Amino acid sequence: MDINGVSAVVTGGASGIGAAAARQLAAGGAKVVVADLQEDAGRAVADEIGGAFCKVDVTNTDDIINAVEMAVSMGPLRVLVNSAGIGWAQRTVGKDGSYDSAANLDAFKKVIAINLIGSFDCIRIAATAMSRTEPDQYGERGAIVNIASVAAFDGQIGQASYSASKGGVVGMTLPIARDLAAIGVRVNTVAPGLIDTPIYGEGDASEAFKSNLQRGVLFPQRLGAPDELASMVLECITNSYMNAESIRVDGGIRMQPK
């Protein structure tokens, strides 16, 4: 699929993998809406790539519609990248054996609401707009890429909510791809391993933590770069025979229990 001149929505586009994907889409000629809650960082990325910023909470359908409508006004909407998400870690049972110390159920629900339900809401709204886009000569109207995680497959202790949310993203990829085939929209999911993003913080303590993490990576034994993930996102978009797949990009890591 040719992305030159099309519009795209990238949720979580203000930083990390989302920002890298936004930059690579723009380099290919797409007009990108950076959809994020981080206004300053989001506007900076949008200004850098000649796109637009839209403040979006992916748990708010009206925000999603605003971003999609903004993209439609910039060109034919053919691309959605679902990169917005949060992490959370907590053991299921507390140490003191009290019910109150069990895992925080509201926190579990929040992770699911953002990572899984938010991704689906973005898909259903963006795909609805894509269904009104003129198909290209091959009948293709668009491509959607979700960002999951290797935690969908190798969830660690304490990652129940995060793994459930990302496993849900992987699990819905095939049925949605089958569904959206009727309108000529492809759906794929990229599952990153340990990627060097702002989530790990900065400074000596952060570097020591990342150094310890990367020991489990098979090869190359380092954290991945956002651009390495973004290149796979771009491949899923531009390669018209990529559909209904979930792809690990992780240096061969298999996460240990903790």
- Annotated catalytic sites, by residue? 162
Q: Give the count of beta carbons closer than 10 Å to the beta carbon of residue 227.
A: 13
CA–CA gap between residue 231 and residue 142 (Å, rounded): 18
| Beta pairing, strands 52-55 & 246-249 | unpaired
CA–CA gap between residue 197 and residue 87 (Å, rounded): 13
Return the amino acid letter for 257. Answer: P
Phi, psi at 90, each rounded to 5°: -165, 135
The two tokens of residue 8 are: 């795209």
Transcribe 30-67 into DSSP letters: -EEEEEES-HHHHHHHHHHHT-EEEE--TT-HHHHHHH
Return the amino acid letter for 236. Answer: C
Judged on CB neighbours under 10 Å (0-12, 13-18, 19+), 3 is: buried
Q: Give the count of beta carbons closer than 10 Å to the beta carbon of residue 230.
A: 25
Contact 4, 29 (CB under 8 A): yes
